[in-house]
C-alpha cells in the first residue's frame, strides 16, 4: 500500500486531536443556545466569551472587536462589502479600492464583481516576477476617493510575505491628514501559524483569520473589526456577534478555534516552528530547481512563507500531473482549493507574467507540522520523475 504524504496544508490542515477532544467535550456538556437566557444558554455563552477573549489576545485586540463567521471567505466578503457599502452611503459618490493581483478569490472576485456594478474603481497592483509588491506602490496607488486598501498578508498560492506593517505605518501618517479615513484590511489566513498578527503593530483596521488553516475545525473563521470602523452588516435577522453577524453561533467550532490558537503557542514558539518547516521547504526548492522544466513561482528566503513551495512544470498537463501525484501517494494541489478542478492557471500565476503563453502544470506543495524529512525526500523523488517525462 502506498504511503500517503499530505502536502496540501494551505487548503486545509488535519485537525489536532486535542482540538477535536475540546470540541467534543464542550458539545456534550454545553448544548444550550448561547443566546438563550436560561442557565444552559448562559453557560455556553460564557465559554464563547472566554474563547473570544483568547483569540482577541492572540492578535492584541479587544474581545468585542472579534466577529465570528463561517470562515475566511465570509469574513473577507464582510470586510469588503461592509466597508464599501458604508462608504457609498456616507460619501454618496463612487469610491476607490487598492488591492493586489495575488489576492485570494474571495477578495479578488468580490472586487471584480462590485467593479462590474460601476459603483467602485479598483487598482489591482501587479507583483514583480518573484511575486512581491512594495509598500510604496500600495501607497502611490491611493487617490482622493480611496476608502479601502486590502492586501493579503501571505499569498495562499505562491507564499509571498507582503509588507503589511510598512503599509500600515505609511497609511497611519496619511490618515492623520485625510478628509476621510482610508481603512486597511488584510487576509491573514495563511499568516497565523508563523507570523505576528498584532493588529496595533500592523496598524490594520480589519483582519481575516480562519481555524482550519491552523489545525482547527472547518466552518469557523473570524473578522477583526477595529472599534469605530464604519462598516455595514451583510445580513439581518438577529443581534448576535454584537449585532454584526446574525445567526446562532457555531459554538463547538468557536471552542475548537480558540484551542487551535492556544496550541500555536507564543510568537517565539511559532518562529521556531517556522524555522523547522523552512528547512524542509528549502530542500524541496533546492532539489526541484535543478530541473530545467521546474520553474519556481514566488520569492525565496524570508520573503516566502516557510511552508509554501509552488512550481510550474513546463510543458506538462495540470490534471495529469495532479492525478499522477495522487496515485503516487502525494496530496498536493494546483493552487487555491477554492478553484480546484480548473486546468487553467489562476489569476495569481497569470499575474506573475511568466507562463501566460506556455503550457505548464502548477504544483503547490504546502507543508504542515506533521511532515518529516522522509516525506520531503519521497515528494522530491516523485516530482523529479514527472519533471523528466
Q: Is 77 helix (H, G, I), strand (E, B) or coil?
A: helix
In terms of average pLDDT, the best of 1-15, 325-339, 341-355 is 1-15
| Torsion from C-alpha of 321, 327, 330, 332, nearest 10 degrees | 40
pLDDT of 78 higher than 90:
yes
What is the enclosing helix (H) or strand (E) of 364? strand 360-366
**C-alpha grid cell, residue 315:** 510543458
Q: Which of 148, 138, 73, 136 is nearest to 101 (CA)?
A: 138
C-beta atoms surrounding 172 within 10 Å: 11
Considering 242, 264, 286, which residue would you say is the last residue of a domain? 264
The least confident of 48-52, 213-217, 235-239, 333-337 is 333-337
1 versus 91: the higher-pLDDT residue is 91
The least confident of 15-24, 191-200, 338-347, 371-380 is 338-347
pLDDT of 275 higher than 80:
yes
Tell me the residue range of the domain where 149 lies.
17-264
Task: Specify whether 150 is located in the same domain as 57.
Answer: yes
Q: Which of 367, 388, 370 is nearest to 284 (CA)?
A: 367
**C-alpha grid cell, residue 378:** 519521497
Q: Give percent of the chain with pLDDT exceeding 90.
A: 90
Task: Specify whether 152 is located in the same domain as 224.
Answer: yes
Query: How far, in Å, CA of 275 to CA of 144, rounded?
Result: 42
The pTM (predicted TM-score) of the whole model is 0.95
Looking at residues 86-107, what average pLDDT do you find?
Answer: 96
Q: Is 274 helix (H, G, I), strand (E, B) or coil?
A: helix
Query: How far, in Å, CA of 249 to CA of 34, rounded?
Result: 8
pLDDT score at 337: 55
Q: Give the Cα-Cα-Cα angle 301, 210, 208 (nearest 5 degrees).
A: 80
Query: How far, in Å, CA of 215 to CA of 15, rounded?
Result: 4
CATH number at residue 379: 3.90.1150.10
Task: Specify whether 299 is located in the same domain as 277.
Answer: yes
Q: Is 207 helix (H, G, I), strand (E, B) or coil?
A: strand
**C-alpha grid cell, residue 285:** 526548492
Looking at residues 192-197, what average pLDDT do you find?
Answer: 98
What are the two backbone dihedrals, phi and then psi, of residue 208, each rounded to the nearest 5 degrees?
A: -105, 130
CA distances from 229 to 87, 202, 249 (A): 11, 16, 23
Query: How far, in Å, CA of 312 to CA of 292, rounded?
Result: 11
Q: Which of 197, 112, 113 is nearest to 153 (CA)?
A: 197
Considering 264, 296, 317, which residue would you say is the last residue of a domain? 264
Looking at residues 149-160, what average pLDDT do you find?
Answer: 98
Quick check: 203 and 184 in contact, CB under 8 A? yes
Residues recognised as catalytic: 338
Looking at residues 191-200, what average pLDDT do you find?
Answer: 98
C-beta atoms surrounding 338 within 10 Å: 14
pLDDT of 340 higher than 60:
no
Q: Is 268 helix (H, G, I), strand (E, B) or coil?
A: helix
Considering 264, 288, 308, which residue would you say is the last residue of a domain? 264
Q: Which of 146, 156, 153 is nearest to 167 (CA)?
A: 153
Could you read off the pLDDT of 291-330 as tens digits, one per residue? 999 999 999 999 999 999 999 999 999 899 999 999 999 9
Q: How confident is the model at residue 29 (pLDDT cuts 50, 70, 90)?
A: very high
Quick check: 366 and 10 in contact, CB under 8 A? yes
Task: Specify whether 308 is located in the same domain as 382.
Answer: yes
CATH number at residue 59: 3.40.640.10
Total number of domains in the chain: 2
Q: How confident is the model at residue 334 (pLDDT cuts 50, 70, 90)?
A: confident
Query: How far, in Å, CA of 32 to CA of 245, rounded?
Result: 19
Task: Specify whether 257 is located in the same domain as 350.
Answer: no
Task: Specify whether 118 is located in the same domain as 227.
Answer: yes
The least confident of 255-264, 265-274, 380-389 is 380-389
Amino acid at each position: 500500500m502506498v504511503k500517503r504524504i499530505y502536502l496540501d496544508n494551505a487548503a486545509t490542515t488535519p485537525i489536532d486531536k486535542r482540538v477535536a477532544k475540546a470540541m467534543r467535550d464542550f458539545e456534550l456538556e454545553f448544548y444550550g443556545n448561547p443566546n438563550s437566557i436560561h442557565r444552559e444558554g448562559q453557560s455556553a455563552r460564557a465559554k464563547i466569551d472566554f474563547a473570544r477573549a483568547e483569540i482577541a489576545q492572540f492578535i492584541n485586540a479587544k474581545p468585542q472587536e472579534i466577529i465570528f463567521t463561517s470562515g475566511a471567505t465570509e469574513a473577507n466578503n464582510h470586510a469588503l462589502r461592509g466597508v464599501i457599502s458604508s462608504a457609498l452611503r456616507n460619501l454618496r459618490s463612487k469610491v476607490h479600492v487598492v488591492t493586489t493581483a495575488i489576492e485570494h478569490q474571495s477578495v479578488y472576485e468580490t472586487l471584480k464583481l462590485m467593479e462590474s456594478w460601476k459603483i467602485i474603481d479598483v487598482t489591482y497592483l501587479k507583483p514583480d516576477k518573484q511575486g512581491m509588491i512594495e509598500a510604496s506602490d500600495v501607497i502611490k496607488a491611493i487617490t482622493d476617493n480611496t476608502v479601502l486598501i486590502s492586501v493579503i498578508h501571505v499569498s495562499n498560492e505562491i507564499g509571498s510575505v507582503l509588507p503589511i506593517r510598512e503599509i500600515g505605518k505609511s497609511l497611519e501618517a496619511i490618515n492623520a491628514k485625510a478628509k476621510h479615513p482610508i481603512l486597511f484590511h488584510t487576509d491573514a489566513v495563511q499568516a497565523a501559524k508563523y507570523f505576528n498578527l498584532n493588529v496595533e503593530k500592523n496598524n490594520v483596521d480589519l483582519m481575516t483569520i480562519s481555524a482550519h488553516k491552523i489545525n482547527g475545525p472547518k466552518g469557523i473563521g473570524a473578522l477583526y473589526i477595529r472599534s469605530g470602523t464604519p462598516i455595514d452588516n451583510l445580513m439581518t435577522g438577529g443581534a448576535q456577534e454584537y449585532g454584526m453577524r446574525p445567526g446562532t453561533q457555531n459554538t463547538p467550532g468557536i471552542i475548537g478555534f480558540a484551542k487551535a490558537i492556544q496550541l500555536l503557542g507564543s510568537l517565539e514558539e511559532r518562529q521556531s516552528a517556522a524555522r523547522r518547516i523552512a528547512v524542509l521547504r528549502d530542500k524541496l526548492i533546492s532539489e526541484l530547481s535543478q530541473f530545467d522544466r521546474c520553474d519556481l513561482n514566488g520569492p525565496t528566503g524570508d520573503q516566502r512563507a516557510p511552508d509554501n513551495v509552488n512550481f510550474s512544470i513546463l510543458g506538462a498537463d495540470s490534471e495529469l500531473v495532479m492525478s499522477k501525484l495522487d496515485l503516487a501517494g502525494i496530496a498536493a494541489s494546483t493552487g487555491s482549493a477554492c478553484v480546484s478542478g480548473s486546468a487553467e492557471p489562476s489569476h495569481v500565476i497569470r499575474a506573475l507574467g511568466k507562463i501566460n503563453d506556455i503550457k505548464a502544470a502548477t504544483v503547490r506543495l504546502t507543508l504542515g507540522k506533521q511532515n518529516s524529512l522522509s516525506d520531503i525526500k519521497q515528494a522530491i523523488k516523485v516530482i523529479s520523475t514527472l519533471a523528466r517525462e
